[in-house]
Structure 1
């Protein structure tokens, strides 16, 4: 069987760096390395076979060859697994990497997906749904909106950050209370009630807006483009004590256009003499390594030619190891102060960028604010079986900074010199200086004291927030890369 190793270099999708990560060599963006999403989800199964060559057995054989030849932790593969016992590629992959998962080295990072769906996401940000991110409070059986994409039907129906979804139905006569769904069937019952992520799927939603207004309306899912940097709050100048602080809210690294949107944001920062930055990646699950590298360049004005990151593969694939140096970018800055706003949904590329900047920002001027992050210092290359629309994203590399550091499998709090505890105050708009996490970030940059995230360097931090991102049992390509998307 021929394996299409389109990702043998450093130009593909960055593994799960939470989205950023090394690129795979070969055919352009579709095979780029990615640094991606947080753990906890099982990606949607690959499409059913369309011919005998695409039998489940042949697809599993393909996946097995990928792991045997490229997996970053070959000693942590279960070689006793019998391929004949599995009826999906994903269930086979899960079984094979179970030892790595048990050591928190691959917590849902190796997966099978559709080539066509992932390419559409990368190339145009294409997705279908209501265009909102959802979280649930299991203790109190409530469902809240964390973020709404401006060009999607949810936002246009009046749903935005802070909105609480009260009831869901296929029409007004069969509305089901969210509290009952969560109490009786857990989060998957809510996922089922919302229906498939297909254009044209319609649901009647009863919701209460942040100001207390209750609305009941029919909302149809539609195709929309995921805008990586919001026109409302993606790039802002926050005036704090006479200082101009740059605020960047990057939703995802997975859309290739994010690089140009980042350049526009830094043009704003440069024109306002910004030398302190807040990177709000609280829901950013990662994406393309190439986008992470562009962001690094935009923060490396004085570091051109120095090491931004190192990509390290298993020993027998070490001829594919690469070192990425800072490159020149117009409007680049050299931040004197840098804060990452993170949560447990902050992963991969988001973590990669922050870890790389640890080598270049003074230790007393860089911090993690909010909650600990996912902990994904590894990335994936894409291995394509074109005729079956099968892409296997396998963990194939680890990323290190200029100081050869990159062991934050429990989250960035274990390696950051400073952390500040803060809640994700979803009742306040993103970009609002009074929002709890942003206010705490400003306090740190101004030299004001804060309460450290529990855990601290070398320890595992406990999560601060009881709310959890709503995740389907089998997320599609967009949901895997963009936590909470519906």
Structure 2
């Protein structure tokens, strides 16, 4: 899920433009992230077959794995562009190299997400307990309707309806139709949609509110818990929770965070990527700059395209940043939904910190590849196609099985959704502090289940055809 290396060459920008795309970090460009999708064709001339043919032409020219495209599939056998794309890249999916990473989405929706962090809904991320059929809020966005109504991390949804007189219990919805029934009951992510929700908070307080969905800003670093200085037995540890790389405004949030760390003399960090599915590659590069004190000019990462596009391969070096620090030890918190740009940052730090890096939580998703965006404005179609892979300064990548088998230290930890993020007593953060302090832990198994919808004991609630924001931030409603 990450869009846009800012240093695209002129040749690549022109090539993308010729395909209906463009360069730059606020539009199509390299993206490091996952998902599936459905665009919104409105003009009459945008028939499904026309859009399918255009998509095939893009893949034939740019797809990273040209030998893993099944061009024998009949487009007339599919009623949507996404179903056709899924069939085209099925050979790559069978080899675990494209697990829903190639998808069609809306230009308008994605640009709004990137440029302003704009989305519509309740502003909460939801997960469900697969054993007990319960649905919980695992994260809430400031300034959104959900948090204002009392829905915060650890809150359980008990009933949903269009009004107080026609609610259904969440347990009955889950029993009758599973997560899909709950998603349907929550309604479309459109401003003005109202749902009556009964809930119980993490502290046991019950409530019920009619909540109106509205546009809100997806702040990439929470003003409540996103940046903390933790005093661990007299040692100051910097904590950063980056929710997503997809919002362009994350750059200033990160600069402010690392200025705080620098001012406090912090050299040990906890970087919390537990739900971060990726975003703008340029934001990942900025993180390298901010953690690159002492390594300016050294290689951060390399972008490698298919052989026929090798002239567009690129090496990104660590640049000087006024807010940069030289960390001596980093604990990265990750889970099954930690993907793409998040993994790029972790992998790119390994050549510089080696055994002083740990992965805390569970295995990550495993996505060492990224997408360019190809636009067809008349149809509001943006095709995100896997077009490149990334490696670190040691030419290490290919972590399709997740980073647990790559990072030298791993510590298994739970995701305690009943304790607020940023709290040093929260299970994953406490385990991260243990690693930084040199205390022992139980290692993560590299072969465990990896899924973009995995979040601790919860499975993220995710539609089969997510909107642009849900592609990048699974579980968002």
TM range (shorter): over 0.9
Residue 247 (structure 1) aligns with: 239
TM-fit CA distance, 1:9: 8.5
Name which of 36, 39, 57 aligns with 1:42. 36
- Give the 5 Å matches for 1:134-213: 134-213=126-205
Residue 113 (structure 2) aligns with: 121
Partners of 1:432 and 1:229 in 2: how far apart? 15
Name which of 450, 457, 460 aligns with 1:469. 460
2:174 counterpart SS class = helix
Partners of 1:7 and 1:87 in 2: how far apart? 31
TM-fit CA distance, 1:110: 0.2
Q: What are the Cα deviations for residues 388-445 of structure 1, in whole angstroms up to 9, with x where unaligned?
A: 1111000000000000001110111011101000000001010000000000000000
Partners of 1:88 and 1:144 in 2: how far apart? 32
Residue 233 (structure 1) aligns with: 225
Partners of 2:159 and 2:235 in 1: how far apart? 45
Please state if 1:51 is matched with 2:48: no
> Contact (CA 8 Å) 2:275, 2:455: kept in 1 or not?
no
> Contact (CA 8 Å) 1:110, 1:380: kept in 2 or not?
yes
2:352 counterpart SS class = coil
Unaligned runs of 5+ in 1: 1-5, 13-23
TM-fit CA distance, 1:11: 4.0
TM-fit CA distance, 1:89: 1.2
2:27 counterpart SS class = helix
Name which of 218, 221, 224 aligns with 2:213. 221
1:317 counterpart SS class = helix
Please state if 1:404 is matched with 2:392: no
TM-fit CA distance, 1:466: 3.7
Partners of 2:8 and 2:426 in 1: how far apart? 37
Residue 434 (structure 1) aligns with: 425
RMSD: 1.7
Name which of 59, 68, 73 aligns with 2:65. 73
Partners of 1:174 and 1:301 in 2: how far apart? 58
Name which of 381, 384, 388 aligns with 2:375. 384
Cα distance, 1:64–1:461 mapped onto 2, change above 3 Å: closer
> Contact (CA 8 Å) 1:10, 1:32: kept in 2 or not?
no
Please state if 1:479 is matched with 2:461: no
TM-fit CA distance, 1:346: 0.6
TM-fit CA distance, 1:331: 1.6
1:173 counterpart SS class = coil
Residue 16 (structure 2) aligns with: none
Residue 295 (structure 2) aligns with: 303
**TM-score, L = length of structure 2:** 0.94
Residue 3 (structure 1) aligns with: none
Please state if 1:326 is matched with 2:318: yes
Partners of 1:461 and 1:359 in 2: how far apart? 27
Partners of 1:49 and 1:237 in 2: how far apart? 50
TM-fit CA distance, 1:25: 6.2
> Contact (CA 8 Å) 2:361, 2:428: kept in 1 or not?
yes
TM-fit CA distance, 1:464: 9.0
Unaligned runs of 5+ in 2: 10-20
- Give the 5 Å matches for 1:3-22: 10-11=7-8
Partners of 2:306 and 2:363 in 1: how far apart? 28
Please state if 1:26 is matched with 2:23: yes
TM-fit CA distance, 1:26: 2.4
Partners of 2:405 and 2:370 in 1: how far apart? 19
Partners of 2:350 and 2:22 in 1: how far apart? 27
TM-fit CA distance, 1:362: 3.3
> Contact (CA 8 Å) 2:365, 2:401: kept in 1 or not?
yes
> Contact (CA 8 Å) 1:421, 1:453: kept in 2 or not?
yes
TM-fit CA distance, 1:86: 2.0
Name which of 276, 294, 311 aligns with 2:268. 276
Residue 346 (structure 2) aligns with: 354
TM-fit CA distance, 1:460: 4.8
**TM-score, L = length of structure 1:** 0.92
> Contact (CA 8 Å) 1:68, 1:74: kept in 2 or not?
yes
Partners of 1:362 and 1:410 in 2: how far apart? 20
Residue 12 (structure 2) aligns with: none
Partners of 1:436 and 1:110 in 2: how far apart? 34
TM-fit CA distance, 1:80: 1.1
Please state if 1:103 is matched with 2:100: no
What is the aligned residue count?
461
TM-fit CA distance, 1:32: 2.8
Q: What are the Cα deviations for residues 217-276 of structure 1, in whole angstroms up to 9, with x where unaligned?
A: 100000001000000111110011211111000000000000111000001000000101
> Contact (CA 8 Å) 1:11, 1:29: kept in 2 or not?
no
1:31 counterpart SS class = coil
Partners of 2:336 and 2:289 in 1: how far apart? 26
Cα distance, 1:9–1:255 mapped onto 2, change above 3 Å: closer
> Contact (CA 8 Å) 1:253, 1:287: kept in 2 or not?
yes
1:29 counterpart SS class = coil
Residue 16 (structure 1) aligns with: none
> Contact (CA 8 Å) 1:135, 1:144: kept in 2 or not?
yes
